[in-house]
Amino acid sequence: MDVTASAPQYPKDKDDDSADFGDFVSNEDEELDLEEVVEPWHKYDMKENSHVFYPICVGEVLNERYLVEHKIGSGGFSTVWMAHDLHDQRDVALKVMSSGEWGETEIRMHDKIVQKVQDTSHLVMYLATFLLPGNNCYHRVLVFPLMGPCLYPVILRNMSMATRMSAARQLLEALENLHQAGIVHRDLNERNCMWGMVPLHNLNRSAKYEALGRPLKRIIPYVELWKQGELVRPIKVPDNLRTEEFYLGDFGLAMQLGDPETPRGYPPMQFCSPDRLHRKGPSFACDMWSYMVIFAELYLGYTPFPTWLKGGIISGIVRSLGPLPESWRGHYTHPGGLESWYDQCKKPDPNHDLASTIAYYRPDADQIERELVHAVMNRVFTYCPEKRLTATQLLQDPSFRAIMGKYGC
């Protein structure tokens, strides 16, 4: 049910730690450190943005129910906050959308997924939604279960291969469920994949801050705001609070095949299939390419194609897989395309092809395992979308099953 929120409130009870909502920056070094991990301040400037962010302070109560206790992160069209649901006495994540149509688009797709997808157990679905009144606009807020850390290479270093391969299998099963319902995710990347988290709602706020880090914050600078807001350093989820469950979220770009209207956008270049970057339409095969980049990251600890070469990610792909189809020449959607990408005389660089990349990043794996992984990657990292394995086919693929079996998945 849609509920339009009243003005933000602040708790009046000063007992225990109810008045403690983190620390303001105290020097220039802290300001600079904070600037590196928060959203740009100009996202809150109505003069510069048609899709402006909603300013929030830690300690506000939104919709007379959700006490904002910490920051989780931000994206291109939203900020995400950790809040305590005062009604249900549990911690949740609040995704506060920028003004505009993005929130309505995402919620429509969530509703469609609930209607059409048989198994949503590994999809992060909203629990409730409401509207916040802004400055001559409204901001859609989606309430989600509180999740653990997203997939970042730095956190893989301390994870067992069993945990990492279990995540790969769970993600593929979640994607299969979407695809069987005719839904393409279209934005599969490491920020939309996350582990579960041990519930913290039985802890007081001091204990939560001890576990997740105290909020370091500053008032949003340089912008004349209609209400006060803060830039806040995000939480850091320690390993002992992460569960083995793995989830797929963020359906802002998702679409059902055949829909006449679809939201514009691509996944980040590092995860985008090369056919999508050459004016080919979105498809299940595009999701599978993105999935295989994530599989590679989980297995190798790094994404498989470099982005630092001249020409960016496509040059990294061509170096590893060989030239793009000649028929794609002239259809690249971004500036900086290179004619050499389509030179059919070129061959994959033997020092940087998939087999060499696997051997380099996983010298501990035996030859049989490397060949299995190479076979799996080859069956999805193919330029022709029609030749890529589907999610169902990959789950049944003997090489994939052998890898999962080795790690008890």
Q: Extract the annotated binding site.
A: 95
- Per the annotation, binding residues for ATP are 95
Q: What are phi and psi of 68, to 5 degrees?
A: -75, 120
Q: How far is CA 204 from the centre of its chain?
A: 29
CA separation for the pair 247, 124 (Å, rounded): 6
Residue 175, amino acid: L
CA separation for the pair 194, 124 (Å, rounded): 9
CA separation for the pair 253, 272 (Å, rounded): 13
Q: What is the 3-state secondary structure (H, E, C) of the chain?
A: CCCECCCCECCCCCCCCCCCCCEECCCHHHHHHHHCCCCCHHHHCCCCCCCCCCCCCCCCEECCCEEEEEEEEECCCEEEEEEEECCCCEEEEEEEECCCCHHHHHHHHHHHHHHHCCCCCCECCCCEEEEEECCCCEEEEEEEECCCCECCHHHHCCCCHHHHHHHHHHHHHHHHHHHHCCEECCCCCHHHEEEEECCCCCCCHHHHHHHHCCCEEEECCCCCCCCCCEEECCCCCCHHHEEEEEEECCCCCCEECCCCCCCCCCCCHHHCCCCHHHCCCCCHHHHHHHHHHHHHHHHHCCCCCCCCCCCCHHHHHHHHHCCCCHHHCCCCCCCCCCHHHHCCCCCCCCCCCHHHHHHHHCCCCCHHHHHHHHHHHHCCCCCCHHHCCCHHHHHHCHHHHHHHHHCCC
Q: How far is the CA of 384 from the CAs of 277, 288, 293, 344, in angstroms?
A: 13, 12, 16, 15
Tokens for 55, please give them: 């300013």
